[in-house]
Structure formats: C-alpha cells, structure tokens
Structure 1
Amino acid sequence: MTTTTPGAVRPDTAVRANPARDTWNVLTRELKPVVRDPFTLIFSLVQPLVFLGLFAPLLIGSSGLPVGETLQWFVPGVLVMIVLFGTGATGSNLQYEMMTGSHERTLVAPLARSSLLVGRALKEIAPIVVQSLIIVLIAWPFGFTINGPGLVIGLALLAVFGVGLGSLSYTLALKTKDREWLFWGVQQTLIFPLLILSGMLLPLDDGPPWMRAIATVNPVNWVVQAERALFAGDLGSVNVLWGWFSAIILAAIGLWAGVRAIRKSS
C-alpha cells in the first residue's frame, strides 16, 4: 500500500509539444505509405510521361530543332509540371482525412499544430525528387544533357517550390473542408492558367503582349525558366535568381497560410 505525502508535488509526465520533434514524427508518418507502396509514385508519372512521349515529338517536328536541343527546353518544364499537378492536388488527401474523422484525432494529439502542416508539406520533397530523377533518366538516352551541379540545384529548387505549392493545397483543403467539389473547382481553375502562362509546354515569345505580361508575374514561369537555365549549366543566370526568389516567396506564403489555417482548424 502506497501513501501520498500531503503537499508532495507529483512528477509532470505530460507530453509537451516540440515543433521540431513533432514535425519529424508527422513527416515520417506521412512517408510510410509512400515507402510501403512505391508503385503510387510510378503511377503518378503517367501524365508527365504522356506529355513527354506524345507532346515532345510534336514540339520537335514544329520547331525543326534537333531532338536533344528540344528536350533540353522541354524536359525542365515537365519536371515543374510534376510538382504543379502532384503537390497541387495533395490537399485532397487531407480533405479525405477530414471527412473520415482521422484529421480530428490528430488535432487532439499532443503535437504542435504547426507540425501537422509543415510535416505534410515536407513530405512532398521525396516524391518530387524520385519522380524528377526518373524523368531525367528516361530522357537522357534520347539526347537530354544532364549537368551535375545544375541537376542538384534544380531538384532543390523544385523541392522548395513543391513545399510552397503543397502548403497552399493543404490550406485550400482546410478552408473547403468536406466540400470536395469546391476544392477541385478552385484547384482546376488555378492550375491550368498557371501551366499555360508559364511557357511550360509552348514558348510564350510569340504570344500576345497581355499573355507575356501576365507570365512575368507568374511564379511558375520563373521556376520553369530557372530549371531550363540550371539544366543547361548556366548556373549564374538571372533566371535562376528569379526562380529561387519566386519559390522561396511561394513557400513562405504557403507555410504561413497553412499553419494559420491548421491552428484555426477544429
């Protein structure tokens, strides 16, 4: 039989929130399904591979340029497309969790609220890097030139861009909640103008002035231009600086909006 001395202080056994530790735990939790089922990464490459296999030959035929030179222009755009379509839709996973009730259970866990968003956003880096490397390796035998330092810097740029875009996708999911139609309506309305006005598939040099003007304020356009410069080995290009600036600003805005939204989530 144990007795408690009057006035004795009980030891504090409560688990305290630690943003760094909690972010790591959320990150590893989100990566486990990817590791267990890596086929999903390959399956999600179907759309980029279709563009690479069907659109690239049309571009080669219309441009009259050598295959290698055309791929050097086109492949970096495909890599940005992977991020745009992949991370732009990732909020639907969070929306599904909200509709099934599992998201509410994570909210009451002894975790920092910010870690629930940041950990999810950082998870996007892994599929971005893996999928980008696969596309680069597929294009390599057909004349696509790989610049080592440019590849590393380009993947890092795509990772930062993906974190920002993924955070905005999660923010949209938190705002739309169980209205799945609204999430996809807003997502589709934004994705395709961003794609077309980035010069990702076709050059905008011969486009109307209003289209070129909008492209100058489109962050996706600058990321695409930066990737092209990096893969061409032009590491000091001003386009690389603008690409990093756009990606960092987008990541900062996305993380700020996402953390703010998840802290208000209930």
Structure 2
Amino acid sequence: MTFLRESYIVFRRQMRMNLRNPAWVIIGMLQPVLYLFLFGPLLKPLADQFGADNAYTFFVPGLLVQLGIFGAFFAGFSLIAEWRDGVIEAERVTPASRTALLVGRLMRDVTQLFVQALILIGLGYVLGMRASWRGVVLGISLTLLLGAACAAASNALALSTKSEDVMAPVINMVMMPVLLLSGILLPMTLGPAWLIRASDFMPTRWVVDAVRGSFDGTFASSAMLWGIAWTLVLFTGALWWGTSTFRKENA
C-alpha cells in the first residue's frame, strides 16, 4: 500500500503540472490526427493491394502504436527540466521508493496516452473504421504497455544524458528505423524481400501486426503471440532500466 500511495503522489503532482501546460499532450496528439485525415484517404485505393477490407481498420492501429511509441519517447525531456531545477534530488532524499518515482510518472504518461488513444479511435470510427470492441480493448492494452516501456526508456535516457542536446538526436536516430521498419504507415509486404527480412528483427513491427490483428478480429495467430511477447519483453526491460537509473546515487 505504501508503494501505491507514493506512486499516486508522484502521479498527482505530474498530472497537475501537465494540466497547467498541456502543450506536449496536444503536440503529441496532433501528428497522428494529421496522418489520419491527410494520409488515410490516400490508402483507400491501395487497400485491396495489401489485403485490407477497410483502409482505416488497417491504418488506425498503426497510428495508435505510433502514438504510443513517439509520444512516450518525449516524456524524458520534462524529466531533464526537473533534474535541472533540483526536483529529482529533492525526491531522492525522501524515503519514497525509487521505483515509485518512476511508476508515478509512467502512470501520468499512460493516462495521457489512454485519452489520446480514445480520441484517435473515435475519429477512426467517424471516418469509417470497423473494429470490434474486444479488438479495440486488446489493441489499446498492448499500446499502453508499449507506451509505458517507451516512457520508462525515455526517463532512463534523460537521467543518463541530462541534456536535451544529446537526447534529441538519439531519439531521432531511433525513431526513423522504427517508423520505416514497423509497417506503421504501409505494410512491410509491399517492400522487397530484404526489407521484409530486416523488419523481422524490429520488435515494434510485431506489436503493430498484433494490434492490427486485434482490430481485424484475428486473435489466434502467431503474429498475435509474437506481438504480446515482445510487448511484455520491452515493458519489463524498460522498467528495469528506468528503475535502476533512478536508484543510481549520481542520478
């Protein structure tokens, strides 16, 4: 109970800060919405080529994962500002669990992501997406776990670099291959054999396939199992990295 209370205290403070300045939340939501309205119509004539009955049922899950990855990757920038203002050191002298300091922030990031996901999915239904509620629930669950993993990794990277000038190019370097090799915008089956083979080594590609499968109602498949497995592996690894970084004495 103490751990949950400590996590909630951190979460409540972080949410208050975000509500005072919701710019990052709005910016993080704007990109997938623009993709949905501007890029989505271009996919309609191509839907038959990659075996999709409905272009938005194919496209929205990819944007959902994009929102979970790229939105959460920027969570660490606010942590650098807190470290510079002495907030992190002030928290570390308290008896609060180091894991709670991280989990409270992850609760904020997951809450933001959940609200953004609901907005994105609601717009998808308005534009003609067809997906069962069970598939949507599973897809959102996988996205929230992946978003928490990316946010934990972002926080760990922030405390390791302590510099926006270092962190920004590192994130950009990671984001480009993730965007291109995960099949977020277009299916990897449209690419040459060597590109498809390269995407097999990208964990987020399997998560994207799993979320798409859930929206399409395909629950019993190897892609679904691989997607769930990779989501759990990424979440566990990132949570361990983030917690260990918070525990370092020189953090």
The answer to whether TM tops 0.5 is yes
In structure 2, runs of 5+ residues without a counterpart are none
Q: One-letter code of the match for 2:76?
A: G
| Alignment equivalent of 1:111, drawn from 96, 99, 118 | 96
Q: In the alignment, what sits opposite 2:108?
A: 123
Q: In the alignment, what sits opposite 1:73?
A: 58
Distance in 2 (alpha carbons) for counterparts of 1:210 and 1:105: 51
Post-superposition offset of 1:67? 9.7
Q: In the alignment, what sits opposite 2:36?
A: 52
Greater C-alpha radius of gyration: 1
Measured against aligned partners, the alpha-carbon deviations of 1:73-94 in whole angstroms (never above 9, x if no partner) come to 1110011111111101111110
Distance in 1 (alpha carbons) for counterparts of 2:218 and 2:209: 11
Q: In the alignment, what sits opposite 1:160?
A: 145
Q: Which has the higher helix share?
A: 2
Residue pairs, 1:35-46, within 5 angstroms: 35=19, 41-46=25-30
Measured against aligned partners, the alpha-carbon deviations of 1:197-230 in whole angstroms (never above 9, x if no partner) come to 0011112113233321221121211111111111
| Alignment equivalent of 1:134, drawn from 113, 119, 136 | 119
Structure 1 residues 39 and 170, CA gap change in structure 2 (3 angstroms): closer
| Alignment equivalent of 2:177, drawn from 183, 193, 198 | 193
SS in 1 for 2:241: helix
Post-superposition offset of 1:235? 2.2
Post-superposition offset of 1:71? 0.8
Q: How many residues align?
A: 249
Q: One-letter code of the match for 2:199?
A: A
Any conservation in 1 of the 2:57–2:131 contact (CA below 8 Å)?
no
Q: In the alignment, what sits opposite 1:249?
A: 233
Between 1:192-201 and 1:133-142, the stretch displaced more is: 133-142
1:100 aligns with 2:81: no
Distance in 1 (alpha carbons) for counterparts of 2:190 and 2:216: 22
1:232 aligns with 2:216: yes
SS in 2 for 1:144: coil
Provide the aligned C-alpha RMSD in A: 2.2
Post-superposition offset of 1:162? 1.0
Distance in 2 (alpha carbons) for counterparts of 1:228 and 1:160: 16
| Alignment equivalent of 1:87, drawn from 50, 72, 76 | 72
SS in 2 for 1:145: coil
| Alignment equivalent of 2:155, drawn from 162, 170, 177 | 170
Between 1:74-83 and 1:200-209, the stretch displaced more is: 200-209
In structure 1, runs of 5+ residues without a counterpart are 1-16
